[in-house]
Amino acid sequence: MQAKLITTFDSLNESSYLAKAGAIVTALTANVCYPEPRVVQVPTLTQLTDAYTAYLDRYHAALSHDSLKIARRNTARQGLTELFKRLVPYLELIAQGDVQVLATTGYDLRKDIVHGGGDVLPAPTDFRVEHGAKSGSLYVHVARLSGAGSYEVQTAQGDPAIEDNWHHVLSSLTSDHILLEDLILG
């Protein structure tokens, strides 16, 4: 894990956000790693608790699907999220890169970047080629290859046994309906 806290709450649905917000407020309550009082620019535990309670009340009120109550819930969520985001630099500063200390905050930690192994993927299977709509065009289809981020298409001009005759044509994010155009006939 990296010594960085994740602050993007936008993708969480309301119930997941409620659980995450509750976990953060609970984790910071009486947390010996982050005692009160804090510097003025940092939200206090009282501010966080009040904002969380306001969001919780508006969350339950919005379960009736009343558009006004939903708007109030969304406003409360924005306010609470802003407090959570303002708190992160302080939490990371106090932790001084200690992942164990950051883990006590209730926030999720960024995961380490994992680079794929240097292993070469096998050749795709179910290779099919069909005539395109225009002269000099082809559709290429291959079975999706697990672990492939994209598919590179190369063509050979001349003897395909000679490596220098191969040229990159395009890279595709999909393995189906790859359109090759402006091919030289012959």
* Predicted local distance difference test score (pLDDT) of residue 147: 80
Indicate if the pLDDT at residue 118 is higher than 70: no
Above 90 in pLDDT, residue 11?
no
Q: What are phi and psi of 128, to 5 degrees?
A: -135, 145
pTM of the model: 0.61
Query: How far apart are the C-alpha atoms of 1 and 127, rounded to whole Å?
Result: 40
Residue 116 confidence class, pLDDT cut points 50, 70, 90: low
Compute the residue count for the chain.
186
- List, in sequence order, every residue forming a beta bridge with 87; answer none if it has no partner: none
Burial (0-12, 13-18, 19+ Cβ within 10 Å), 152: exposed
What is the pLDDT of the chain when averaged over all its residues? Answer: 90
Q: What is the pLDDT of residue 115?
A: 64
Residues sharing a CB contact under 8 Å with residue 114, sequence separation 6 or more, in sequence order: none
pLDDT score of 186 more than 80: no
Q: How much is the pLDDT for 123?
A: 85
Cis omega before residue 35 (within 30°)? no
Q: What is the pLDDT of residues 96-105, one digit of tens each?
A: 999 999 999 9
